[in-house]
């Protein structure tokens, strides 16, 4: 488990969230542009507080979770993402998720995060599989998952009156 360690990839630094990160977390989640594929739309501040609290609680319980993301040697938070436990398809899954500020889009950061989180899940956490849920219209995220060797395995009707989410999985090679 990494607890408070900062992990770095070639261009990004990932770290456990702290209370001071809430403002940036909320700004990203409240932006309509970052919610184009989220059927629930931008997050209210109350909901963001609840979700952020659960992210921090996940860290306390599991010793890992969603990271805050910055470019290496920069202070601005550009996104968040990583692995967390999520219940779907009748099982607890290790789920990959991420969201970036629009200013960080188109730079390969989502792919870099997905590769880093997947390697962390397999090498450090010894997970046998990592899953991801994506809306069928979110072609950019589908592309990220497929570049990172995730395969479409199922569909999940998780939002009423919407097309089912796509369930992707990547198995460990260990």
Note whether residue 75 is domain-resident.
yes
CA distances from 162 to 88, 133, 136, 142, 157 (A): 17, 14, 10, 17, 8
Residue 87, domain extent? 7-171
Note whether residue 1 is domain-resident.
no
Note the pLDDT tens digit of each residue in 68-82. Answer: 999 999 999 999 999
The span from the CA of 47 to the CA of 29, in Å, is 10
Note whether residue 161 is domain-resident.
yes
Note whether residue 79 is domain-resident.
yes
Note whether residue 38 is domain-resident.
yes
At residue 144, the pLDDT reads 98
| pTM of the shown model | 0.93
At residue 4, the pLDDT reads 64
Domain count, the chain: 1
Q: What is the CATH number of the domain that holds 21?
A: 3.40.630.30
Note whether residue 39 is domain-resident.
yes
At residue 117, the pLDDT reads 98
At residue 41, the pLDDT reads 87
Q: Which residues contact residue 160 at a Cβ distance below 8 angstroms, ignoring those fewer than 6 apart?
A: none
Note whether residue 157 is domain-resident.
yes
Note whether residue 2 is domain-resident.
no
Task: List per-block mean pLDDT (blocks of 10 residues) for the chain, which spans 174 residues.
Answer: 77 97 97 88 95 97 97 96 93 96 96 98 97 96 98 91 93 88
């Amino acid at each position: 488990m990494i607890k408070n360690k900062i992990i770095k990839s070639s261009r990004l630094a990932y770290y456990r969230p702290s209370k001071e990160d809430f403002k940036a977390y909320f700004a990203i989640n409240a932006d309509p542009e970052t919610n184009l594929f989220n059927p629930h739309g931008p997050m209210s501040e109350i909901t963001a507080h609840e979700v952020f609290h659960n992210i921090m609680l996940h860290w306390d319980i599991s010793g890992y979770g969603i990271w805050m993301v910055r470019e290496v040697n920069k202070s601005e938070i550009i996104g968040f993402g990583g692995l967390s436990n999520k219940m779907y398809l009748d099982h607890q899954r290790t789920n990959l998720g991420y969201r970036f500020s629009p200013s960080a889009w188109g730079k390969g950061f989502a792919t870099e995060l997905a590769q880093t989180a997947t390697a962390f899940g397999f090498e450090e956490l010894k997970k046998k599989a990592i899953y991801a849920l994506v809306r069928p219209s979110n072609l950019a995220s589908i592309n990220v998952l497929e570049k990172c060797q995730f395969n479409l395995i199922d569909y999940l009707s998780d939002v009423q009156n919407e097309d089912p989410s796509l369930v992707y999985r990547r198995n460990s090679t260990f």
